[in-house]
Amino acid sequence: MFTIAGREIRSLFLSPIAYVITGIFTFIFAYFFLSVIALYTILSVQALRAPFIAERINIQDLVIRPLFANLSVLLLFIVPIITMRAFAEEKKLGTFELIYTSPLRTWEIVLGKFLGISSFVVFILAVSALFMLPIFKFGQPDKGVILTAYIGLLLMTTAFISAGIFASSITENQVISVIVSFGILLLFWVLGWVRGTLEGSLKDIIAYLSFTDHFQNFSTGMIDTRDIIYYISFTAGMLFLTISSLESRRWRGAY
């Protein structure tokens, strides 16, 4: 399993995709960072002239929460691109047959891919953490809230990865993998938008299935076991579907 994970990490960094994605991610997140800081600076200057504005200026609400909200949206687009080659490229090149005939069980292969891609995503999150250093130096943010937000972001991102790996396991076309993966993630992302039009138990079910509703708790510094269970359950469910998809191909003699 760890051999597969190491192989996945090497394949990412030996190809241009890791550097292109990291560069694009850093550029876009830097734009978000500067925009949020500029708005906070303008409001701070205005507060000197209007004291009533100072009461509404909060670094957590005006800087930290918008940054993590933008970061989650950015990962929603990037993760499907990272995961598109997990199995689709292997099947297209014919190299997956070599892996599948090795003395490894299907779940070990899937978890190896999952760990390898997750390691790269953790690297991207570490890059985003560098942007927090100026905030700590010149401001006084709540460290607990930032740490909790990163925990929530990591849990949500692993859910993204599991959905992307599943999408890659059902096709040999990387473009289709991206479309299917993004479609699954977008569905669970927008579920919370329609809860205002629903009532009763259906409203509670839709709210519980929404990615954004669970992440909002983390972004406010609150850790709820229901949110942790949701992300872990989603990830485990998608990995199970991936294993089942690959096993079904073996039963049909597709390899």
pLDDT for res 7: 85
Question: How high does pLDDT run on average in the chain?
Answer: 85
pLDDT for res 20: 92
How many Å separate Cα 16 from the centre of its chain?
21
Q: What is the residue extent of each domain of the chain?
A: 2-251
Encode pLDDT of 222-239 as tens digits.
888 989 999 999 999 999
pLDDT for res 251: 64
pLDDT for res 27: 95
Would you place residue 74 in the very low, low, confident or very high pLDDT band (cuts 50, 70, 90)? Answer: very high
Q: How far apart are CA 204 and CA 129, in angstroms?
A: 34
pLDDT for res 242: 92
For residue 52, pLDDT over 70 is answered with no
pLDDT for res 195: 63
**What is the radius of gyration, based on Cα positions, of the chain?**
20
pLDDT for res 250: 64
Would you place residue 96 in the very low, low, confident or very high pLDDT band (cuts 50, 70, 90)? Answer: low
Would you place residue 97 in the very low, low, confident or very high pLDDT band (cuts 50, 70, 90)? Answer: low
Encode pLDDT of 9-31 as tens digits.
888 888 888 899 999 999 999 99
With tokens 């993004």, the residue in question is 182
pLDDT for res 246: 84
Specify the range with the lowest mean pLDDT, choosing from 26-35, 60-69, 117-126: 60-69
Encode pLDDT of 142-178 as tens digits.
888 899 999 999 999 999 999 999 998 888 888 999 9
For residue 42, pLDDT over 70 is answered with yes
- The pTM of the full predicted model, rounded to 2 decimals, is 0.88
Q: Give the whole-number percent of the chain exceeding pLDDT 90.
A: 39
* Two tokens, residue 183: 């479609």
